[in-house]
């Protein structure tokens, strides 16, 4: 998401530095523009986080202004059981946090992954949560939210 708000490809910069090049900018010259969000789409149960390997019978990623999808998945892709469950990332950018949130809500609603379980329903719930919408949640936010809900959905 740093690339979305700065326009700087951090991986490319790391490779350049490793090759002995100097950065073509200073920290002071970097300007942040807008707001960005990333949802990692995992092949797992949305509330228990149990992996959901298997065949993706339908894959349809979202699109539109300010929406980017990084994924290796496709219809008939087989999600293996012995590797990381991430099958993609949806990254959105907007002029404001509100616009970025709206774009992510739309992007998640347009995303179709059939044949396996994904954590998309959890992302959709979180994007409706008042505390998350306001911003400033900590790294313990999800853990606390799930504990407050009490029962884990199956």
pLDDT tens, residue by residue, 43-65: 999 999 999 999 999 999 999 99
Distance CA 151, CA 148 (A): 9
Of the pLDDT bands very low, low, confident and very high (cuts 50, 70, 90), residue 149 is confident
| pTM, to two decimals | 0.89
pLDDT tens, residue by residue, 83-137: 899 999 999 999 999 999 999 999 999 999 999 999 999 999 999 999 999 988 8
Nearest of 41, 122, 46 to residue 88 by alpha carbon: 41
What pLDDT is stored for residue 9 in this prediction?
93
């Amino acid at each position: 998401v740093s690339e979305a708000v700065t326009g700087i490809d951090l991986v490319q910069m790391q490779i350049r530095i490793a090759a002995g090049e100097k950065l073509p900018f200073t920290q002071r010259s970097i300007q942040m523009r807008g707001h960005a969000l990333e949802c990692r789409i995992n092949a797992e149960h949305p509330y228990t986080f149990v992996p959901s390997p298997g065949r993706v019978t339908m894959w349809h990623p979202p699109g539109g202004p300010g929406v980017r999808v990084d994924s290796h998945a496709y219809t008939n892709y087989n999600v293996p059981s012995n590797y990381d469950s991430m099958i993609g990332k949806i990254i959105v950018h907007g002029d404001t946090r509100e616009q970025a949130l709206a774009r992510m809500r739309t992007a998640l609603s347009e995303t179709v992954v059939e044949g396996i379980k994904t954590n998309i329903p959890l992302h959709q719930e979180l994007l409706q949560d008042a505390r998350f919408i306001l911003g400033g949640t900590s790294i313990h936010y999800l853990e606390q939210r799930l504990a407050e809900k009490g029962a884990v959905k199956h």
